[in-house]
Structure 1
Amino acid sequence: MLNQVSVFAENTKGALRKMTSVLADANINIYTMLANDSAEFGIIRLIVTDPELAVAKLQEAGYQCHADKVVAVEMGDTPGCLDKILDNLRQANISIDYLYISYNRQAGTPVAVFKTREMETETFLRGKGYTLLDTF
């Protein structure tokens, strides 16, 4: 499983830039980022080079954040790849809390990143022949 940093941040002008500056100043590279908003606050999900340092630096800067474990599975780059993964998970009765698509820079393939509370998900997907990422 990958470590993902989840940050609770105000939905204000310049808020993302302020957060990315903290990471840039700590020499932390962002591999993937998803920002969800609401009226006043949002959750920013990041996969970075050093999640533990990112959490420490962001908390030091006043952010509420924590590290989560997420599953990252390589997808093929053809129509229906994500659907097949999701169908396999459905058949195994594995629930997904959220999902987003990223990109594996080394392999040049899309990656489905998702959060689940089902601990057997990695074993199940590997058994189905999927490649899972431990790093980006």
Structure 2
Amino acid sequence: MIAQISIFAENRKGAMRKLTDVLGNAGIDIIALVTNDSAEFGIVRMIVSDPALAEKRLAQSGYMVHKDLVMAVDLEDRPGGLNRLLASIDESNTNIDYLYISYDRALSVPIAVIHSGDLEELEQCLKNQGYHVRSTGNFI
């Protein structure tokens, strides 16, 4: 499993830049990122090079931060690759809460980042079907 941080930020001009400024000043690299917004606040989900330090520095800067686990699965880089992964997930006894896509720059491989209520079962199902599920040590 991979550590992911979720940050609650105000939905206003410059908010994202302030958040990335905190991370940049701490020497933390953003590996994957997705944002969801509402009228007043947004959720920024990230996989970063040092999640513990990111959580600490963002909290010190006044952000509400939550750290949890997600799964990172290599995708086939061709049309239908994501659809095949989703079909495999449908065969498991799990549901995904959300999914976003990242990319391994060194290996040129797309990666699906998945949050689910039962990551262990989902991981076993996908490994049994031949998917490469990444761990913290091999995500970046």
**Normalising by structure 1, what TM-score?**
0.96
Q: Which runs of 5+ in 2 are unaligned?
A: none
Q: How many Å separate the matches in 2 of 1:101 and 1:85?
A: 12
Q: Does 1:123 align with 2:117?
A: no
Query: 2:62 maps to which residue?
Result: 62
1:133 aligns with 2:120: no
Moved over 4 A (4+): none
TM-align CA RMSD: 0.9
C-alpha separation in 1, matches of 2:51 and 2:122: 22
Return the letter of the residue paired with 2:73: V
Instruction: Using the aligned pairs only, state the percent identity.
Output: 47
* C-alpha displacement of 1:107: 1.5
Cα distance in 2 between the residues matched to 1:109 and 1:51: 22
Aligned to 1:95: 95
What is the match of residue 40 of structure 2? 40
Residue 93 of structure 1, CA deviation:
2.6
Aligned residues: 136
